[in-house]
Each structure stands twice: as structure tokens, then as C-alpha cells.
Amino acid sequence: MGDLQEYFGETHEMVRQTVRRFVRKEISPFVDQWEEQGEFPRELYTQAGETGILGIGYPQAYGGSGGDLFVKIAATEELMRCGSGGVAAGLGSLDISIPPILTLGTEDQKRRLIPPVLKGERIAALGITEPNAGSDVANIRTRAVRTDRHYVVNGGKTFITSGVRADQLTCAVRTGGQGAKGLSLLVIPSHLPGYAVSGKLRKMGWWASDTGQIFLDDCRVPADNLLGAEGQGFYGIMENFQKERLQLAVMANMTARMALEASIRYAREREAFGRPLSGFQVTRHKLVDMATQVEVSQEFTYRVAAKMEAGKNQFKEISMAKNFACTISDKVTHDAVQIHGGAGYMREYLVERLYRDNRILSIGGGTQEIMKEIISKQILN
């Protein structure tokens, strides 16, 4: 017999256990309350920072914990177990805002801008989307004009995860002409004059994460905070897309898995017409379909992750994995609510939240349609 290809080893299991304990102790008991309040306490960042959860995948030189993609996957899966996509998204906003600093930043910028975030002392957000530019990144209008030692920034960003509380915003700005080549990335500290934040945006899901709108009005940002050269912004954004999509695929798979598990539990307990729901073939077969889909999606995501870990370009495959995982989680969370009946529509049941939290996954980090464009270019050209 050949060797079984295992993605997770001893280190991964240990990480899993630490994060699982962290979730059980520091998150799960409070998560319903945080969901209703629309945010989780700031201290959760410092607690997760101390435990090294925030630093997974980042170099130890900048306060990171190291670890490969599967360490990150194990941690994300356990974090998702808290049942609130919003908590995972809020803690995870650094994973989209720090990588461009790592890719484009100078040594001084990395030492200045990364360690406080990985310790959980500063909250980091990524500012790309604008009222008139989402997937169409090249249409960004927020403008940064260079004076001698500053950039004067005018414009606005919206739908920014952790945007209300962020201490620093990795922000896409236009420093040059039209299109992608005119874009740059600037790290803007939120305490600067001219930086203003709206109240929390009210959302369908991810309630425990603060999503905000940011206004930049003659905001003078030190030129030291420009990442890379002017015009490298688009590259800086693109560079992290593979990992971001992997992260979203993992979140979708976990959302579906939890919906499946909750449905199995419910189908065993709930009785109708004198027997448990699991006694009806229609329910059993539905659960089988759900389980099969979750299994296949998760395995495919792992396989793509293993190829990414081995250094292979997986631009097409990871887009497929994200789309596939989101299609499955759409279907499985829908079916999970259906199995729960009226209870599934009630907030006290986990599947109600999973159903809402799931909806963003096929929109954020590249919409389903953008993913398909990427894939179509690769298979048709």
C-alpha cells in the first residue's frame, strides 16, 4: 500500500488544539452577545496576539509565529468553530492588510507597521473598495497628491472590515493616471487629521465585525508610508489574492461543515409524525448529499493549498476552489435551514447565523463572477 497523503501533522494538530481551547474559553461563551452588540472586545486582539494566533504565517523577525499554509488552515477552521464568521473576519482583517507591507515595504516599514498588529495592539484594515469601485479596482478614485514629505489624500472607502476601529489602513490610492498603473498603496494611520469614520454599517451577516466607511479629506500622510514605488499598488493587491481566496474557501468549507453537523444533530433529536427526522429517507438523503459535497470541497481546497505550499502557481485552481466551496456552502446552509424548519429561521439556532454569514463569502475577496473571468481566461486563451 502506498503512503496516505496527509496534509496535517503533529504541529498542525497542536496548533489546532491551542486555537480550539482559545475559542472555547475566550470566544464561545460570549459570541452570541457580541453578535447582538455588533462587535467583539478589543482585548480579543491582544489575547489572540499573545497566543500567537494573529502571527501565523508571518516571519518571526516581525513578531510572527511562522508556520505553513496548513497551520493557517488549521487555525482558521478552529476559529470558525466559534460559530461567528464576524469574529473570524474581524480578527482576520490583518491577513489582507499586512501582506502588501510584507511584499512591498522597506525594512523600516515592516518593523514599524507589522509587529504591533501581530501583537494585537493595533488593528489593521485594508481599504480598496469605494462607492464606485469594487471588483473594478482599476477605477479607484481616491487620490493622493505628493507634496514634499507628505501625500495629501482625498476620497473615501467603504465596506471596510474592521474599518470602524482600525488604527491603520492599507489604502489603495491613485497617485498617477487612469487604470491599474496609476494605483499605489499607502498605510494611513487613523489618528491623522482628515481621516474620519462612519458609524458601523448594518449588515446581513458578520454582525460581530465592525464594517465601516472611511472619509479622507485633505489627510496628510507621511510619504514614508508609501509601500514600494508609486504605481505598484495593483501588484501589491494582487500578490495576496491567492492566499485570501484560500482563506475564504476554508471559511466556506467550515461554514458548510458546521451547518451539516448541526443538521445531523437536529435531525436525530427532532421528531415529526412520530419519529426522528433522521428516520425519513428524504432527510437522510439530503444529509448524505450535504456530507458528500462538504467532503469533496474540503479535499479539493486542501489539494490546491498543498500545491500552493509547494510553490506552484494556482491562480486558476484557487479561484475554482473558492467558487466551488462557496457554491457548496450556499447549498448546504440553505438545506440546513430547511431541515431545521421554523427553528432554522430563529436566531437561537446556529444555522440561522451560518446562513447569513455565508452570503458574503461568494462576494468578498473576488466575486464569483470575477473568479469565473479569471478561470475563463486561463482555460479559453
C-alpha cell, 309: 505550499
Closer to other proteins by Cβ: residue 46 or 51: 51
Binding of other proteins at residue 21 (CB under 8 A)? yes
Cα 80–chain centre separation: 11
Among the candidate windows 20-28, 196-204, 219-227, 339-347, which touches other proteins by CB under 8 A? 20-28
Closer to other proteins by Cβ: residue 51 or 367: 51
Short-list 187, 339, 197, 378, CA closest to 261: 339
Binding of other proteins at residue 43 (CB under 8 A)? no
Binding of other proteins at residue 17 (CB under 8 A)? yes
Closer to other proteins by Cβ: residue 19 or 128: 19
CB 211 within 8 A of CB 159: yes
CB 232 within 8 A of CB 104: yes
Q: Strands 226-227 and 271-272, how do they pair?
A: unpaired
Binding of other proteins at residue 62 (CB under 8 A)? no
- Report 67-86 residues binding other proteins (CB under 8 A): 67, 71
* H or E stretch covering 195: strand 195-197
> In the complex, what is the shortest distance from the CB of residue 265 to other proteins, in angstroms, rounded to a whole number?
11
Binding-site member from 22, 159, 206, 300 for other proteins (CB under 8 A): 22
Question: Which amino acids are annotated catalytic?
Answer: 244
Closer to other proteins by Cβ: residue 24 or 42: 24
- Report 348-367 residues binding other proteins (CB under 8 A): none
Binding of other proteins at residue 268 (CB under 8 A)? no
Binding-site member from 23, 44, 45, 65 for other proteins (CB under 8 A): 65
Q: Which amino acid is at 61?
A: A
Closer to other proteins by Cβ: residue 44 or 318: 44
Helices 281-309 and 315-340, interaxial angle, to 10°? 160
Binding-site member from 2, 4, 5, 60 for other proteins (CB under 8 A): 60
> In the complex, what is the shortest distance from the CB of residue 206 to other proteins, in angstroms, rounded to a whole number?
25
Binding-site member from 14, 61, 145, 196 for other proteins (CB under 8 A): 14
Binding of other proteins at residue 15 (CB under 8 A)? yes
Among the candidate windows 14-22, 32-40, 254-262, 282-290, which touches other proteins by CB under 8 A? 14-22
> What is the residue whose three cell numbers read 511562522?
66
Binding-site member from 27, 31, 34, 55 for other proteins (CB under 8 A): 55
Distance CA 328, CA 251 (A): 12
Binding-site member from 7, 18, 289, 303 for other proteins (CB under 8 A): 18
Binding-site member from 23, 27, 31, 56 for other proteins (CB under 8 A): 56
Phi, psi (5° rounding) for residue 4? -75, 130
C-alpha cell, 11: 504541529
With 0-12 / 13-18 / 19 or more C-beta atoms within 10 angstroms meaning exposed / middle / buried, residue 1 is exposed
Closer to other proteins by Cβ: residue 65 or 263: 65
CB 124 within 8 A of CB 97: yes
Q: Give the Cα-Cα-Cα angle 293, 298, 300 (nearest 5 degrees).
A: 100
Closer to other proteins by Cβ: residue 52 or 105: 52
Q: Which amino acid is at 95?
A: D
C-alpha cell, 240: 495576496
Cβ atoms within 10 Å, residue 140: 27
Binding of other proteins at residue 247 (CB under 8 A)? no
C-alpha cell, 264: 445531523
The length of the chain, given as a count of residues: 381
Write out the residues near other proteins by the rule CB under 8 A.
10-11, 13-15, 17-18, 21-22, 24, 50-53, 55-56, 60, 65-67, 71
